[in-house]
Structure 1
Amino acid sequence: MNFAGLSEAWVPWSAMLLMAIAVWALSVRLRDVSIVDSLWSIFFIVFTALFAWRMRSDAVASYALIALVVLWGVRLSAYITIRNHGNGEDRRYQAIRARNQPNFEFKSLYLVFILQAVLAAVIVLPVVPILNEAQAANAVTYTGFAIAVFGALFETVADAQMARFKRDRAKASSAAQDTVMDRGLWRYSRHPNYFGEATFWWGLWLASASMGGAWTVFSPLLMTWLLTRVSGVPLLEADLRQRSQAYRDYLEKTPRFFPGRPKR
C-alpha cells in the first residue's frame, strides 16, 4: 500500500470544509439546504485540482484523471442546479428539516454540509495515488479510466432521458401526470444514473489500484453503499412509492440498480 503524498491533502480538505461552510451560510439565507446537491461534485473538482497543484502532477495519467473529474463534476453540478432551479427545497431535505427542529438552520451545518464534505473527502481518495505518480501508469490504469468514462456517459444519458421525460410530462394532460419513466436506460434499471455514478468511481479505483492505490477500495464501496442503501435509492423510492401507483407497478417489473431484463 502506498500512502505517499497523503499528507499534502490537508490543503484541499481545508478548502472543501470552507466551501461547505460558505454554502451553508447561503442556504440559511435562502432557506434551502438542497443547494448542497449542486456543491457535491464540486468538492471533488476542488480536491483534485488543489492536490494536483500541490504535487506538481504532470504525467499523462494525471492530466487524464483531472479531465475526467472536472468533466464529470461540472456536468453533474450543472444538471442538478438547472433541474432544481425554481423548485424550492427538495422533499428529502424538507423531511430532514422537519425531523430536526428546532434550530435546523444551525444543525444543518453539520448534519448536511460538513457531513457531505467529510464523505467527499473520503470518496475522493483514489485520485491521490494517481496524482502522486507513485508508480507508472499501465494498461490497467487506462482500463480503469475507460470504465469511468463509461459510467459518466451512462449517468449523463440517463439524466438526459429523465429530463426530457419530465419536460414532456409537464406539457401533458393531467391524466398523464401519474406516468413513470420506463423507457431508454430506465427500462432496464430503476436508477441508471446511480449505476453510472457508482461505475465511475469503481473505474477510478481500478486506475488508482494499478498505481498503488488498492487501499482506497473503501471509496467506491462507500459510494455504492450511499447510493443503494442510504441517501439515493431508499429515500427516492420511499417518496415515489407513496405518491404514485404507476411507480409501484414500475417497482415490480424493473431491476433495482444493476441493469437487467425487465419482468413481464
Structure 2
Amino acid sequence: MANSTSNHSPAKNVVCTALAFLAPLPSIFFYHSFLRLYAGSADSLPPPWAAWCYHHPVLLANLLFFLNINVLFWALALLQSSNWLIDLYWTVIPVLALHYYRNHPAAEWEGRRSGLVVGLTWVWFVRMTHNYLRREKWQLGEREDWRINDMRKQYGTKFWWVSFFTVYVAQQAFLMAITMPFYVIHSNQKQLSFWDAVAAATCLAGVTIAYFADTQLYNFVGRNERLKKYGKALVPVLDEGLWRYSRHPNYFGEQLWWSGVGLFAWNLDYSWWFIGPLVNSVCLGIVTVLVEERMSKHDYRARAYKEYQETTSFWVPWFKTSLTGKQKKEI
C-alpha cells in the first residue's frame, strides 16, 4: 500500500499517465536502433558499439536500466518530489526484460517454450498492473510507496541524493537479478520436457493465488475505509479466505510465480538458474518484515495482529495453530 494522499486532478492524472508511457522510450528507441543496425549489417561489420551490444546482452540490459531507470527516473522524481514511477515499473520492467532477451540477435530459444513463457509473463503483468492501478484508485502519481515515504522522513534533506542509491540502484540489483531466468530461457534450444509443464503449472498457481489474495486484501481495505468514513470500529486483521492460512498469501503466490520461471531455467541445465527465485525471496523477506512492523504499530490492531502472528503461518498456507498459555499471557 502507499500513503501521502493528495488532491488529484484529472489533468494531473493525464500528465502522469503520459509520463509513464514516455519514460522508458529512450532505452526502447536505442535498443530498436541497435536491432535495425545489426540486422542491416549482414554484409559488413557492425560498428564497435553495436558489436559490444551483441556480445554483452546482460551488461547492455544493466546499462540501459542504469541510464533510463536509475538516472532518468531519479531526475523525474526530483522534479515531481515523488518516486511513484518506480513502483509502477516493478510490473513493467520484467516484461521489457523478457522481450529484450527474446529479441536480442544472439538469443537462441525453443519456440514453444519461449511462447509459453511470454504468454505466462503477460498474464502475470496484467494481474500485477491491474492490482497496482485499482489500489491507486486508477490515479497515477498521487501517492508514493509508504516504504519510500518512510525513507524520505528518515533521511530528511539528504534524501534527494540518498534516494538514488536506496530507491533506484538497489532496485536495479533486485529487478535485473529476478529476470535472469528470462535470459537463460532464451540462451538454449533444448526441446520441451515434462519439467516445462511443471514450471508452467507452478507459474499459473502462483498468479492465481496472488490474484485472489490481493483481491481479498483490496476488499478488506475498502471495507475498513467505509467503516472509518461512518465512524465505526475498524476490523483489525484480515483473517478470512487465503489470509486465514497465511499472513502473506500474496507474497507466497508471487514467490511461487518466480519459482516457476526459475524451473524453466533449471530445466535448461544452467547452474545459476536459482538466482531469480533466490533474489525474489530476499526481496519479499525484507518487505514482509517491514509490513509486519508497520502493522504492529497501529494501536487498534496491535493485540489482534500479535495473536494472528502466533497462530497463522508466515508465507506457506497452512492450518491454524492454538495459542499456548505462555503466548496468551504475552499477548
Please confirm whether the aligned pair reaches a TM-score higher than 0.5, indicating the same fold.
yes
Deviates more, 1:14-23 or 1:46-55: 14-23
Counterpart CA distance in 2 for 1:152 and 1:214 is 26
Q: Which amino acid letter does the alignment assign opposite residue 19 of structure 1? A: I
The answer (yes or no) to whether the contact 1:205–1:213 under 8 Å persists in 2 is: no
| Structure 1 position 81, deviation (Å) | 3.6
Counterpart CA distance in 2 for 1:30 and 1:249 is 41
| Structure 1 position 137, deviation (Å) | 2.1
Q: Which amino acid letter does the alignment assign opposite residue 259 of structure 2? A: W
Q: Which residue does 2:258 correspond to in 1?
A: 201
| Structure 1 position 125, deviation (Å) | 0.8
Q: Is 2:92 the partner of 1:42?
A: yes
The answer (yes or no) to whether the contact 2:87–2:145 under 8 Å persists in 1 is: no
Counterpart CA distance in 2 for 1:11 and 1:57 is 19
Counterpart CA distance in 2 for 1:92 and 1:84 is 15
Q: Which residue does 1:257 correspond to in 2?
A: 315
Counterpart CA distance in 1 for 2:109 and 2:72 is 29
Counterpart CA distance in 2 for 1:13 and 1:74 is 24
Q: Structure 2: 5+ residue runs without aligned partners?
A: 1-53, 323-331
SS of residue paired to 1:102? helix
Counterpart CA distance in 1 for 2:147 and 2:306 is 19
Q: Which amino acid letter does the alignment assign opposite residue 208 of structure 1? A: A
2:73 paired residue among 4, 8, 23: 23
TM-score normalised by L of structure 1: 0.88
The answer (yes or no) to whether the contact 1:40–1:77 under 8 Å persists in 2 is: no
Q: Is 2:213 the partner of 1:158?
A: yes
SS of residue paired to 1:120? helix
Change (3 A) 1:142 1:15: farther
Q: Which amino acid letter does the alignment assign opposite residue 214 of structure 2? A: D
Q: Which amino acid letter does the alignment assign opposite residue 40 of structure 1? A: W
Structural mapping, 1:88-103, within 5 Å:
88-103=143-158
Counterpart CA distance in 2 for 1:19 and 1:82 is 24
Q: Which amino acid letter does the alignment assign opposite residue 193 of structure 1? A: N
Counterpart CA distance in 2 for 1:134 and 1:218 is 21
Change (3 A) 1:241 1:199: same
Q: Which amino acid letter does the alignment assign opposite residue 71 of structure 2? A: I
The answer (yes or no) to whether the contact 2:181–2:265 under 8 Å persists in 1 is: yes
Counterpart CA distance in 1 for 2:80 and 2:245 is 38
Deviations, residues 142-174 of structure 1 (Å, cap 9, x unaligned): 211210111111111111111111112222243
1:67 paired residue among 111, 119, 123: 119
Tell me the C-alpha RMSD between the 2 structures.
2.2
Aligned length: 258
The answer (yes or no) to whether the contact 1:62–1:131 under 8 Å persists in 2 is: yes
Structural mapping, 1:44-193, within 5 Å:
44-54=94-104, 55=107, 57=109, 59-84=111-136, 88-172=143-227, 173-193=230-250
Counterpart CA distance in 1 for 2:269 and 2:74 is 36
Counterpart CA distance in 2 for 1:6 and 1:35 is 31
Deviations, residues 149-203 of structure 1 (Å, cap 9, x unaligned): 1111111111111111111222224333242111110000000000011111111
Deviates more, 1:206-215 or 1:72-81: 72-81
Counterpart CA distance in 2 for 1:257 and 1:46 is 29
Structure number with bigger Rg: 2
SS of residue paired to 1:69? helix
Change (3 A) 1:175 1:6: farther
More helix by share: 1
Q: Which residue does 1:32 correspond to in 2?
A: 82
Q: Which residue does 1:9 correspond to in 2?
A: 58
The answer (yes or no) to whether the contact 1:148–1:199 under 8 Å persists in 2 is: yes
The answer (yes or no) to whether the contact 2:180–2:275 under 8 Å persists in 1 is: no
Counterpart CA distance in 1 for 2:156 and 2:273 is 37
Identity %: 23
Q: Which amino acid letter does the alignment assign opposite residue 257 of structure 1? A: W
Q: Comparing both chains, which one has the higher relative contact order based on Cα–Cα distances under 8 Å and sequence gaps of 6 or more? A: 1
Deviations, residues 220-251 of structure 1 (Å, cap 9, x unaligned): 112112212x1x21000001101123322322
Q: Structure 1: 5+ residue runs without aligned partners?
A: none
Change (3 A) 1:214 1:46: same
Give the ranges of 4+ consecutive aligned residues of structure 1 lying more than 6 Å apart after TM superposition.
Answer: none
| Structure 1 position 136, deviation (Å) | 1.9
